[in-house]
């Protein structure tokens, strides 16, 4: 037997319902509304107006029961609703892991993307069902729903990695994702009028 520093979590299986994307057993459920994302969209006034209007749910994160502790590999399913604020697609807050560790995402439904930023370079990985997105250690990551239905994915990450949301407030994300006339547009984070590609 390995010499465990902490008592091991019992092995178990998790059922993923492919229709509802519910996990059984299931852990905590987090709901993020537009009001939780105030200050993050390129057009803060439009976001504020949408918050006043109905403060829509932008995304939910349903976690498994695996604890966020050293050595464990917790999982969660994020479901991002379709929507835009002044043309900017709905997204997750985005974070870096203060303990530099990798993470994998598996697309489950819908169309989306993974915006990755290391402080200078910005990468956009299109995501779709059955596509695995790899987030290397140290890269800030944000998910974007670029379709007109829910975009959902499974995330698996090291339990001691932690989540730092302040880094993004300070450094931004390098790019924003907009719906353009001829499809998806990546625009400068600080100057959303200027197109990157
Ligand atoms: C994901 C994210 C989830 C929500 O499980 O936490 O998609 O995004 P925010 O945490 O940025 O609000 C993950 O990357 N975990 O590490
Ligand atoms: Zn993460």
pLDDT per residue as tens digits for the range 148-194: 999 999 999 999 999 999 999 999 999 999 999 999 999 999 999 99
pTM: 0.96
Ligand 1 mean position, distance from CA 3 (Å): 32
- Given a cut of 70, whether residue 5 has pLDDT beyond it is no
- The predicted pLDDT at position 3 comes to 63
pLDDT per residue as tens digits for the range 82-100: 999 999 999 999 999 999 9
Determine the Cα–Cα distance for residues 86 and 67; give it in Å rounded to an integer.
38
Q: Is the CB of 155 under 6 A from ligand 1?
A: yes
Q: Is the CB of 160 under 6 A from ligand 1?
A: no
Q: Which of 21, 36, 61, 97 is the best mutation target for the ligand 1 pocket, counting ligand atoms within 8 Å of the beta carbon and taking the most?
A: 61
Residues around ion ligand 2, judged by CB within 5 A, are 103
pLDDT per residue as tens digits for the range 131-161: 999 999 999 999 999 999 999 999 999 999 9
Determine the Cα–Cα distance for residues 114 and 135; give it in Å rounded to an integer.
9
Residues 6 or more apart whose Cβ sits within 8 Å of residue 159? 66, 67, 68, 69, 70, 71, 72, 73, 74
């Amino acid at each position: 037997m390995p010499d465990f520093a902490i008592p091991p979590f019992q092995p178990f299986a998790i059922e993923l319902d492919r229709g509802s994307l519910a996990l059984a057993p299931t852990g905590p459920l987090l709901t993020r509304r537009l009001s939780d994302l105030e200050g993050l969209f390129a057009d803060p006034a439009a976001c504020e107006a949408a918050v006043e209007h109905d403060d829509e749910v932008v995304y939910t994160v349903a976690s498994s029961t695996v604890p966020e502790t050293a050595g464990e590999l917790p999982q969660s399913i994020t479901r991002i609703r379709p929507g835009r604020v002044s043309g900017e697609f709905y997204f997750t807050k985005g974070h870096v892991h203060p303990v530099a560790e990798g993470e994998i995402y598996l697309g489950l439904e819908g169309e989306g993307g993974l915006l990755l930023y290391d402080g200078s370079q910005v990468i956009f990985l299109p995501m779709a069902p059955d596509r695995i997105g790899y987030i290397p250690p140290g890269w800030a990551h944000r998910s974007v729903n670029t379709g007109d239905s829910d975009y959902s994915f499974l995330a698996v990450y090291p339990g001691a990695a932690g989540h730092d949301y302040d880094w993004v407030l300070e450094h931004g994300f390098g790019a924003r994702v907009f719906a353009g006339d001829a499809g998806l547009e990546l625009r400068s984070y600080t100057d959303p009028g200027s197109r990157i590609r």
